[in-house]
Structure 1
Amino acid sequence: MSTALDTVLNGLALGSVYALVALGFVIIFKASAVMNFAHGSLLLLGGYLTAVLHDRLGFAGALALAVLATAAAAGLIDWLLLRRLDPHAAHVLTILTIGVDILLMTDLTRRIGGDLLTLGDPWGSDVTELGPITVADSRIASILVSLVVIAAVFAVFRFTSWGLSLRAAAEDHEAAALMGIRLARIRTLAWCLAGALAALAAVFLAAFPAPGLERTTGQIALKAFPAAILGGMASPPGALAGSLLIGVTEALAAGYQSELSALGEGFGDVVPYAVMVLVLLVRPAGLFGTREAARV
């Protein structure tokens, strides 16, 4: 029983971090209808900046600067590259993000090399015993921080003029523009927010029990992509629910790998995509998605 509780708690912690990344996918998609495949390289950028700056600025200072720098980098991707193209050609812009990801990931991979970088987080390898459950302090921190940040993002969506403009733009770009909403600004701010969330997620993805930040850490963002898809690409609550589902399922698959050996040794790595396919077979629009109605 304690093993199962440990596994579920670790899955919730992992899912909470996936939620930060998946929320970035959803925010950008709502603002510009673009699937940002450069999200993994932005995550790695945030983690790398935190790792190289924490000795001089301390963990809090390095993280704050990394979040701001990654947000600025994401905004520049939109402002310098994507805004120059036809905003209605979402498929072209999506392909362009793949090229941006390759360029940025190649440079960061060259800089990191084969090293394992520590981010100087205050949790270290400490663990806490909660009755029969033993959980890493970094896991507890990831759940608490993610809850606060996600609640803040949802509050921004609900109670600020930017959030209202973003929701209006997601419903109908042309109508929102006619109402005086500055779509270009809304879109760039959405990219900045998504970049900031990715940088924050990198801290917990590289924290104990992970060995540290490595050049493949950015690929973990691809596991959050199925979470955004199965939740519904235009639904922030769906991204949260999908991330928790993916995190718990992946943790259970890893924790009971011996019982699932018939499915292959690396089954845990493909669980997010298997769950996504199964859900989409039942609900093609995702858990919280809605079907588009077409008049004829």
Structure 2
Amino acid sequence: MTGLLDNVLGGLALGSVYALVALGFVVIFKASGVLNFAHGSLLLLGGYLVAVLHEHLGFAGALAAAVLATAAVAGAVDRFLLRRGEQDPRAAHVQTIVTIGIDILLVTDLARRIGGDLLTLGDPWGDQVTDLGPVTVADSRLAAIAVSAVVIAGVFALFRFSPWGLALRAAAEDIEAAALMGVRLVRVRTLAWCLAGALAALAAVFLAAFPAPGLERTTGQIALKAFPAAILGGLASPPGALAGSLLIGLTEALVAGYQSELHILGEGFADVAPYAVMVLVLLVRPAGLFAARGAARV
């Protein structure tokens, strides 16, 4: 029973961090129709900036600087590299492909800088643990759950109550009608990319924290595990991204925790479990768990 509780808490912590990444996929897709495959490299960039700045600025200062810088880079990627030929109806598909190239360039440069090192981010939790009854939990996991809950609640409030959130929802419903109603689509799109970059930088801190050994050049690949979470939720649904992330996080933690009982599936199955869940769900719900039903006129 203690092992089950430990795995569940670990899964919730992992799922809450995946939710930060999955929300980035969702807001970009809602604003521009682009699947941002450069999201993992933005996450790695944010973590790298915290790692190199925390000795000079302290952890809080380094995190703030990394979040702002990653948000600015994400906005610049959209503004200067993607928004060419935007009038072409196939622009979103072309831009999705371009993000793959951008990801390769960023990851290559960051991997060269990191090399084979494990970088510490100077987070205040370190390797401290807390006893919650029979379960011992790393403080970094508790912090991940708490911080992610606050940030996700703030993002949801932004969607629901801010003028930008209203404009984003209007553009996602009908971009042409939104433009005719005076919605500044360029501003909506740029802010969406900046928000996604900021969320990715924040997620990097918890993905590199204990019990992880630190930030390494492959850390950005973890963002690919949040992609199934966004797909499961319907790709354009923030609540769906949250639900999908928790499902993926719990699945990965439980499979890893009970790997010996699941040896028939092969070692390392926890790494592919998120994709297996995605395939199984999409077989039943091809549009995702929270996809909006389209109206048809006869």
- How far 1:156 moved relative to its partner? 0.5
Q: Which of 153, 156, 164 is the matching residue for 1:154?
A: 156
Aligned to 1:224: 226
- Answering whether residue 27 of structure 2 is matched by residue 40 of structure 1, we say no
Q: Partner of 2:101 in structure 1? A: 99
Aligned match for 1:240, one of 236, 239, 242: 242
State the distance in 1 between where 2:249 and 2:162 align: 30
For 1:163 and 1:86, locate their aligned partners in 2 and report how far apart those are by CA, in whole Å: 22
Superposed CA offset, 1:53-111 (max 9, x none)? 00000000000000000000000000001112225321111000000000001000000
Partner of 1:12: 12
The CA distance in 2 between the partners of 1:261 and 1:208, in whole Å, is 26
How far apart, in 2, do the equivalents of 1:118 and 1:159 lie?
37
Q: Which position in structure 2 is the counterpart of 1:65?
A: 65
Task: Give, in whole Å, the separation in 1 of the partners of 2:186 and 2:288.
Answer: 28
C-alpha distance in structure 1 between counterparts of 2:55 and 2:292, whole Å: 48
Residue correspondence of structure 1 range 244-259 to structure 2 within 5 A: 244-259=246-261
Quick one: which amino acid aligns to residue 276 of structure 1? M
The SS at the match of 2:83 is: helix
2:28 is aligned to 28
Paired residue type of 1:4: L
2:276 to 251, 274, 281: 274
- Alpha-carbon shift at residue 36 of structure 1 (Å): 0.2
How far did residue 285 of structure 1 move? 1.0
CA deviations 1:198-247 (Å, max 9, x no partner) are: 00000000000000000000000000000000011000000000000000
Once the two structures are superposed, the pairs formed by residues 103-122 of structure 1 within 5 Å of their partners are 103-122=105-124
Aligned residue number for residue 212 of structure 1 = 214
CA distance in 1, matches of 2:59, 2:228: 31
Corresponding residue SS for 1:84: coil
Alpha-carbon shift at residue 293 of structure 1 (Å): 3.7
Q: Which residue of 1 aligns with 2:181?
A: 179
- Gaps (5+ residues) in structure 2? none
- Secondary structure of the residue aligned to 2:254 is helix
Q: Which residue of 2 aligns with 1:139?
A: 141
1:283 — aligned with what?
285
**Corresponding residue for 1:76?**
76
Which residue of 1 is the match for residue 86 of structure 2? 86
2:266 aligns with one of 244, 264, 267: 264
**Any idea what the Cα deviations from partners look like across 1:12-53, whole Å, max 9, x if unmatched?**
000000000000000000000100000000000000000000
Query: Alignment partner of 1:129: what SS?
Result: strand
Q: What is the number of residues matched between the two proteins?
A: 296
Distance 2:77 2:94 in 1: 14
Secondary structure of 2:280 counterpart: helix
Mapped to 2, the partners of 1:218 and 1:295 lie a distance apart of: 44
- How far did 1:292 drift? 3.0
- Please give the secondary structure, in 2, of the residue aligned with 1:134: strand
Aligned to 1:193: 195
Runs of 5+ consecutive residues of structure 1 not aligned to the other structure: none
What is aligned with 2:205? 203
Structure 1 CA distance for aligned equivalents of residues 99 and 295 of structure 2: 29
Paired amino acid for 1:64: A
SS of match in other structure, 2:112:
helix
Amino acid at match of 1:107: D
Could you tell me how far 1:294 is from its partner in structure 2? 4.4
Corresponding residue for 1:128? 130
TM-score by length of 2: 0.98
